[in-house]
Amino acid sequence: MSVDAEVTESAAEGAAEKKGWLKGVREGLSKSRKALGQQLASILLDRFDDEVWEKLEETLIYADVGVAATVKIVQSLEEAVDAGQITESGELLAKVREITADMLRADEHRIDVDHQPAVIVVCGVNGTGKTTTIGKVAWHLKELGKESILVAGDTFRAAASEQLEEWGRRAGCRVIRQKQGSDAGAVVHDGVAAGQSSGADVVIVDTAGRLHTQKNLMKELEKVVRVTQKLVPDGPHEVLLTLDATTGQNGLVQAKLFAESVDVSGVVLTKMDGTARGGIAIAVTQELGLPIKLMGVGEKVEDLRPFDPDGFSQVMFEEGVLGS
């Protein structure tokens, strides 16, 4: 059984005072001075002159879409206009959303937990939200009747294991950990083994934050993955890379190097409840073929959403922030 959009949504519905993500984001956008929707709303009244294109470019850059992808999108739009597909400014917005959504679409957006146990390794740069995401994933799995074991593979950071233990409490899961400074590979080995012997449905492995530029740490990550493979030969079934939505163009090289080291199966775009629109996700999907699978939308355990390219594009290019 895979975790698909429907199921995740229904699980989240049970949560107390759930604020619709789109509503929350709209409110966030309304507070931001750089509300993208407002900018685009202003160009909808104009004809297709240079100012329109510049405004569009500005909107895309502000969303961290990056120069290369912006050029691609603007080119596609220009072609559509030249081909007579767009004749009114109102259609421009819809077309931008369509192009962007298509760029974000991937073959597989779902999380694969169809194994016994399914092994998920979570990796990423420091501060991107790995441990928090693990707590959320574990909670959502629990709502689906799946038991998880959390493995405190971050043996470097002060109180990292304690942090995961707290998430274990919130999600109602067991946490396997050792002292700070222990060998990460050893903890992961114990954790996966415990998962197998206890009949857990899912084993979720936390790892230390690391910069993709630190070769020795990337090698350590490769070792951690190999350790899981020793016990579960066809695993890990998911290697999720957390990517902070506020990250700029460096996000692409981050994803690239992590994917080169370990077989990243999907990306979790975290902190989408801020004002950053996470446009770097477009480059990550387009240039590296990495699917965005999940989105973090807050600090509470329920604040996790399946990634939906159309919804994402809708928010990125929203028409009139207050109201519609």
- Applying CB under 8 A, which residues contact another protein? 28, 31-34, 58, 61-64, 66-67, 125-129, 131, 156-160, 162-163, 165-167, 170, 180, 211-216, 244, 246-251, 253-254, 271, 273-276, 279-280, 299
Q: Are 171 and 303 in contact (CB under 8 A)?
A: no
Interhelix angle 5-13/130-143, nearest 10 degrees:
90
Rounded distance between C-alpha atoms, residue 46 and residue 182, angstroms: 62
Name the minimum Å distance from CB 64 to another protein. Answer: 4
Name the minimum Å distance from CB 52 to another protein. Answer: 16
Our CB check for another protein shows the closer of 208 and 290 to be 208
Name the minimum Å distance from CB 78 to another protein. Answer: 18
Q: Is the preceding peptide bond at 233 cis, omega within 30 degrees of 0? A: no
Q: What are phi and psi of 299, to 5 degrees?
A: -95, -5
CA 97 to chain CA mean position, Å: 19
Q: Residue 280: which of 64, 59, 57 has the closest Cα? A: 64
Q: Are 222 and 229 in contact (CB under 8 A)?
A: no
Our CB check for another protein shows the closer of 229 and 286 to be 286
Our CB check for another protein shows the closer of 111 and 252 to be 252
Name the minimum Å distance from CB 239 to another protein. Answer: 20
10: helix, strand or coil? helix
Name the minimum Å distance from CB 101 to another protein. Answer: 21
C-alpha separations of 25 from 32, 294, 321 in Å: 10, 16, 10
Our CB check for another protein shows the closer of 227 and 280 to be 280
Written as one letter, the residue type at 190 is D
Q: Is the preceding peptide bond at 291 cis, omega within 30 degrees of 0? A: no
Name the minimum Å distance from CB 296 to another protein. Answer: 10
Our CB check for another protein shows the closer of 57 and 91 to be 57
Our CB check for another protein shows the closer of 163 and 265 to be 163
CA dihedral 120, 133, 176, 121 (to 10 degrees): 20
Q: What angle do CA 1, 299, 34 make, to 5 degrees?
A: 110
Question: Which pair of tokens denotes residue 229?
Answer: 């493979």
Name the minimum Å distance from CB 292 to another protein. Answer: 16
Name the minimum Å distance from CB 251 to another protein. Answer: 7
Our CB check for another protein shows the closer of 67 and 322 to be 67
Our CB check for another protein shows the closer of 130 and 189 to be 130
